[in-house]
């Protein structure tokens, strides 16, 4: 018999070693497996919940960025029109109105 495969339990009171039977070991293993499986499932569900929360936040941020871009574009267009209008007014105030016919020196027709 191979003594390396025998698992024993030591009594804390008398220090006597007792071999664990396959049935007891199987029961312990099954209990540990169930506990670990439950813990893994709990962690997976928690991670999935956090992932979904992050996806929702990401979508909200994406929408806010798009809304901000639209708002900035509108304001820039308004500002550009104001600057163009002001530039036209300044140009008209500094330069004489253009005539359809060129002004020729006196005596030249």
Structure pTM? Answer: 0.50
Backbone CA torsion sign across 30, 32, 33, 34: positive
Confidence of residue 33 (pLDDT cuts 50, 70, 90): very high
Supply 78's token pair.
């308004």
Per-residue pLDDT band at 97 (split at 50, 70, 90): low
Domain boundaries, the chain: 3-94
CA distance 13 to 16: 8
List, for residues 64-85, the tens digit of each pLDDT value: 999 999 999 999 999 999 999 9
Helix%, strand%, coil% for the chain, nearest 5: 70, 5, 25
The answer to whether the beta carbons of residues 11 and 29 sit under 8 Å apart is: no
Which phi and psi (to 5°) does residue 17 adopt?
Answer: -95, 135
pLDDT recorded at residue 9:
81
Position 1 pLDDT exceeds 50: no
């Amino acid at each position: 018999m191979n003594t390396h495969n025998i698992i024993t339990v030591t009594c804390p009171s008398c220090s006597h070693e007792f071999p664990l039977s396959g049935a007891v070991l199987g029961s312990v293993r099954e209990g540990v497996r169930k506990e670990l499986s439950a813990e893994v499932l709990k962690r997976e569900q928690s991670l999935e919940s956090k992932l979904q929360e992050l996806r929702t936040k990401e979508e909200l941020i994406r929408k806010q960025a798009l809304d901000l871009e639209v708002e900035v574009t509108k304001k820039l267009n308004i500002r550009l029109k104001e600057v163009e209008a002001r530039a036209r007014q300044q140009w008209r105030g500094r330069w004489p109105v253009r005539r359809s016919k060129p002004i020729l020196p006196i005596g030249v027709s």
